[in-house]
Structure 1
Amino acid sequence: MFPASFPHRLSRTGLKVGALFLIGILPLTAYALGGRDDQPAIITGIGRVVDGDTLDVGPTRVRLEGIDAPEIAQTCQTARGETWNCGVAAATMLRKLAEHQDLSCDRKGTDRYRRVLATCFADGIDIDEAMVKAGLAWAFVRYSVTYVGVETEARNAKIGVWQGPAEAPWDFRRNEWQVAETGAPKGCAIKGNVSSHGRIYHMPWDPWYDSVNMDLAKGKRWFCSEQDAIAAGWRPASPN
C-alpha cells in the first residue's frame, strides 16, 4: 500500500519527489504521471480488495486517490496504550465497502506502473471518503486536500487511528526502509523472493518481509527500487 493523489503536472516539488523515488527512498507506486488518452475516464467492475487503499476493479488495479491507509503490518495504539492492528482493520473496512461490489471509479491519473489513481464509489458512497471518515485512512495532505475536513472530523471524534498515538503511513514506510537498508547490500532493501507462487518482491513494510530468507543461490535477488524489480520480472507481494 503506497501514497496516492499526486499532482498531474510536473512541479519543483514533483521533481524532488521523483528523484527520491529513483534512489529508492520513497515508494515508486503512486506518482501520478497523468492518464493515457485511450483509457476510460470511468472504470467499472466488481471490486477485490488488496489492502487498505488498493483494490482491483474488474481487471484494473486501482489506488484510491487522496488517501493513505496504514500498511497491513502496521499497528496503532488505543488511548490506554493498547496495540491494535490498524493496517488489518483498514483492509477489513475496505472489504466491507468494496469487496464483490459493483464499483464505479473516476480516474484521476496513473502511476508509473500503469495503475489507476481514482476515486471509487459503491452505491453512491465515496469509498475514499468513507475510509477517512472511519478513521482508517489519512488524507494525504502533501498531495491532496480533498479529505482534510473529513479527517478533522475523525480526529475530533477520536475514532480509528485517532483514538491514540498513530504513525502516518508515509512515515512508517520511510522508517521501515531505513531500518531494512542497514542490513541490505548497498542499501538495496527490496527482497526478490522465488517460490511456488513465482517471483515476488517484498518491500520492507510488507508483512512477510522478515520471513524471506535471502538465499541468492536459489535465484533470489535484492533490488534498490520497485522499478528495478518489475523490470527484472518480479511482481509485488499481495497481502491476501
Structure 2
Amino acid sequence: MRTLIAAFWLAMAGPGVAAEIVVTNGDTLQLDRTIYRLDGIDAPEIDQLCLDRRGDVWPCGAEARDRLSGHIGSRAVSCEDKGPDPIYKHRQMGICSIEGEATTLNGWLVREGWAIGLEPSAKGRFAVEEADASENRRGLWESCFAQPRDLRGWNPSGARLVGRGCQPAHQNRTRDKLFRVDTAMPQGCPIKAKLALRAIGYEGIYHLPACGSYGRVKRVNRWFCSEEDASAEGFRKALTCR
C-alpha cells in the first residue's frame, strides 16, 4: 500500500521515555532533533519516478519512504552518529538499526531493493545485498530507474538507467519519462524548484508556497520538503520570496 506514514512515536531505553521518528525519504530519518542520512546508501529522491515492467510511471521515491516507515512500524530505533553529512550540512551520517535486529536499516534497504550502495562512501559494504536484490528483482530492481545522483544533478542525457525493467532500445524515451517537469507534488514536499537558463548556464531556483512566483511556476524540475535540502542541492530562493 502506497500510503504515507509520516511520523510515529517509538519507545526508547527507559519506561515513559519516547523519541519521535519522522521518515522523510527512503534514506533519511529524523530521530528527535537529529536528522540522519543513512550512511553508504542512496535511495530514490522523494520526487523521483521509476518505470514499471509495463513502462508506466510510478512514484518510487515516495514508495521507498513508505517502505522504510512500514518496516520500522512502532519499533524503537537507534542510530550510530558517523559525523556531519558532507553535502547536507543540517544532517548527520548514521548507521541506524531497529533495536534487537542485527541487520541495519542501511543494509535492509539495499537488500530489499529500495536503495543502492553509494560509492565510494559505501566501500563495497552493500555489494552482496545489492546483487541479490537485482538478481531477485526486489523493489526498484523490478523496474527501470535512474541513479538518484543523476536526478539530483538533473542529468537526463547522461543518466545511467538500471533495473530489470529497462529496455536498451528505448533509452531516450525512458529518460524523457523519468526526468519530467509535470510531476505531482509529493505529500509534505511543497517547495517547487526549477532550472533557469542564464548567460552563465543553468541556475537552480526554488519557490516557497508564500512566494509571489509560486503559482506561476508550472514546469517543476524538483520538489523539496525543506529549504535546507533545496539549498544543499544548489538551488537558491526566488527573489519574489524576499
Q: TM-score range by the shorter chain?
A: 0.5 to 0.7
Identity %: 25
Within the candidate set 35, 43, 63, 1:69 is matched to: 43
Tell me if structure 2 keeps the 8 A contact 1:97–1:122. no
Asked if the contact 2:197–2:203 (Cα under 8 Å) also holds between the matched residues in 1, the reply is no
Deviation at 1:171, TM superposition (A): 0.9
Equivalent AA in structure 1 for residue 45 of structure 2: E
| Mapping 1:32-181, distance limit 5 Å | 45-98=19-72, 101-111=75-85, 113-123=89-99, 124=101, 125-144=103-122, 145-175=124-154, 180-181=194-195
Equivalent-residue separation in structure 1 for 2:110 and 2:68 (angstroms): 11
Q: Check the 8 A contact 1:176/1:204 in 2, yes or no.
A: no
**Kept in 1: contact 2:79–2:95 (CA 8 A):** yes
Q: C-alpha separation between the residues in 1 aligned to 2:222 and 2:131?
A: 27
Moved more, 119-128 or 49-58: 119-128
Give the TM-score of the pair, scaled to structure 2.
0.59
- Per the alignment, residue 205 of structure 1 pairs with 222
Distance 1:122 1:184, change over 3 A: farther
Aligned to 2:216: none
Q: Distance in 1 between matches of 2:233 and 2:151?
A: 18
Mapped to 2, the partners of 1:131 and 1:104 lie a distance apart of 16
Identify the structure with bigger relative contact order (alpha carbons < 8 Å, sequence gap 6+).
1
Q: Distance in 1 between matches of 2:207 and 2:224?
A: 14
One-letter identity of the residue aligned with 1:188 = E
Q: Residues of 2 paired with 1:225 and 1:51: CA distance?
A: 15
Confirm or deny: 8 A CA contact 2:27 2:38 kept in the other structure: yes
Q: Which stretch of the first structure deviates more once superposed, 86-95 or 169-178?
A: 169-178
Aligned to 1:17: none
Given the alignment, which residue of 184, 188, 199 partners 2:203?
Answer: 188
What SS is found at the alignment partner of 2:70? helix
Contact 1:52 1:71 in 2 (8 A): yes
Q: Deviations over 1:194-232 (max 9, x none)?
A: 629xxxxxx9421689xxxxxxxxxxxxx98668859xx
Paired with 1:225 and 1:59, the residues of 2 have a C-alpha distance of 19
Unaligned runs of 5+ in 2: 1-17, 158-178, 180-193, 212-219
Normalising by the residue count of structure 1, what TM-score does the alignment of the two structures yield?
A: 0.59
Q: Is the contact made by 1:190 and 1:204 (CA closer than 8 Å) also made in structure 2?
A: no
Unaligned runs of 5+ in 1: 1-43, 197-202, 210-222, 235-240
CA deviations 1:46-103 (Å, max 9, x no partner) are 4211111111011111111111111121111222323222111101011113365421
Q: How does 1:201-240 map to 2 (within 5 A)?
A: 204-206=221-223
d(CA) in 2 for partners of 1:77, 1:68: 18
Q: Is the 8 Å Cα contact of residues 70 and 168 (structure 1) preserved in structure 2? A: yes
Q: 1:114 and 1:75, CA in 2 relative to 1: closer, same or farther beyond 3 A?
A: closer
Residue 121 of structure 2 aligns to a residue whose secondary structure is coil
Deviations along 1:108-134, one digit per CA (max 9) or x if unpaired, are 121252421001001324111111111
Which has the higher mean CA deviation after the structures are superposed, 152-161 or 168-177?
168-177
Q: Any idea what SS the aligned residue of 2:67 has?
A: helix
